[in-house]
Homo-oligomer: A and B are copies of this chain.
Amino acid sequence: MKTKAIFYHAGCPVCVSAEQQLAGALDPQRYDVEIVNFAETPQRIAEAERAGVVSVPAFVIGGSPFHINFGASMADVKGG
């Protein structure tokens, strides 16, 4: 069974770079990668926060949050 890996972002330049170079790098044989853009699906902000995401871009892999560089805080995401 593949491990779920969710890449959360908000369309910022830092996010796009991370999406292209890191989110696309995971092994498709072992990971089921989903890309979530909060600008399009703000209703998924709560789920990301529950997983421990405090800034974007971030990966949640197997339930653990990995913040990648810093594009925007979740407060910024919610405020925007």
Q: Which residues of B contact A3 (CB under 8 A)?
A: 25
The 3 closest A-B pairs by CB, nearest first: A27-B27, A25-B26, A21-B61
Main secondary structure of the interface of A (DSSP, over half): strand
Q: Which residues from 36 to 71 on chain A have a C-beta closer than 8 Å to any C-beta of chain B? A: 59, 61-62, 64-70
How many copies are assembled?
2
- Residues 18-31 of chain A, each 1 if its beta carbon lies under 8 Å from chain B, else 0: 10011001111111
Query: Contacts of A68 on B, CB cut-off 8 Å?
Result: 66-68
| Nearest B residue to A21, CB-CB | B61
Give chain B nearest CB distance to A38 CB in angstroms.
20
Question: Are A18's CB and B69's CB within 8 A?
Answer: no
